[in-house]
Amino acid sequence: MGETIVSIQNVCKAFGKHQVLQNISLEIASGEIFGLLGPSGAGKTTLVKQLVGLDLPTKGENYIFQEKMPSLKLVEKIGYMAQSDALYEELSAKENLEFFAALYGLKGAKRKTRIVEVMETVSLSDHLNKLVSAYSGGMKRRLSLAISLLHQPKLLILDEPTVGIDPVLRKSIWEAFYKLKENGTTIIVTTHVMDEAEKCDRLGMIREGQLIAIGTPDELKEKTNSASIEDAFLVFGGAAQ
Ligand SMILES: Nc1ncnc2c1ncn2[C@@H]1O[C@H](COP(=O)(O)OP(=O)(O)OP(=O)(O)O)[C@@H](O)[C@H]1O
């Protein structure tokens, strides 16, 4: 495995009395596609928000590129796609991309090239000048993904990137992830979709704020004698014996 890019150390998070993350520790290496798998409400979004510097743990620390989060220095190195799309509906896709590219300091020819490239990556090149309000839900997800890729981040954090995307496009988006990985990008993806979990290099299974298992999809299935990730999850979660 490559060098450690993400180190989560004894992270806890409480909202009032509600303990949402319970002593999570894990490390993610350079070039991995790491999946955080868990049901709705398990704490995945809460954890990734800390990794992008949008929230703080109640206890413990998160280090990214050996730097303690939150750190403004790392903004350029991290791409984040939130669970709900943050797009300007009344603008075209191109105008949205130009706006975010400007925020990242991309100018002139570089900006133009990156806009073309990221739209190709998400198969939206033919819809560049369309208003976002005329986009479908899946198209908006893909545009959000394109925006997160604009500045060629070394670490990409994607919160449920393929929700509302049909299986054909989902496949093409995963091909894009593999291409990014080949170019050295580390990717963290949250999901509750089991077949998507299978595509990750390693998985962290999260249930009720606890990391109940970690390993490659094959390791997790072997350890539990399960035919599927879904069954493995149930065994680790104590629901089936
Ligand atoms: N700002 C907040 N204040 C209070 N409770 C919160 C807050 N944010 C999240 N929670 C609670 O923390 C728990 C974990 O939520 P989180 O969004 O991290 O789960 P998740 O695994 O990402 O689920 P989903 O797949 O539905 O997004 C939930 O019970 C949620 O209600």
CA of 41 to the centre of ligand 1 (A): 5
Tokens representing 135?
């986009």
Matching residue, tokens 């054909």: 168
Residue 163 lies in a domain: yes
If one counts the domains in the chain, the total is 1
Ligand 1 centroid – CA 209 distance (Å): 10
Q: How confident is the model at residue 162 (pLDDT cuts 50, 70, 90)?
A: confident
Domain for residue 225, yes or no? yes
Which of 162, 207, 155 has its CA nearest to residue 186? 155
User: 181 lies in a domain?
Assistant: yes
Q: Determine the Cα–Cα distance for residues 45 and 87; give it in Å rounded to an integer.
A: 19
pLDDT tens column, 186-221: 999 999 888 889 999 999 999 999 999 999 999 999
Task: Identify whether 140 is part of a domain.
Answer: no
Best probe residue, ligand 1, of 22, 44, 46, 191 (max atoms within 8 Å of C-beta)? 46
Is 104 among the domain residues?
A: no
CB of 126 shorter than 6 A to ligand 1: no
Asked if residue 92 is part of any domain, the answer here is no
Residues near 184 by Cβ (< 8 Å), separated by ≥ 6? 30, 31, 154
**Tens of pLDDT, residues 106-119:** 999 999 999 999 99
For the CA of 47, the closest atom of ligand 1 is 18
The residue segments making up the domain with residue 13 are 4-83+153-236
ipTM associated with this complex:
0.95
Residue 131 within a domain: no
State phi, psi for 79 to the nearest 5 degrees.
-110, 135
Ligand 1 centroid distance, CA of 46 (Å): 6
* Residue 19 within a domain: yes
CATH of the domain at 71: 3.40.50.300
Q: Quick check: 240 pLDDT over 50? A: no
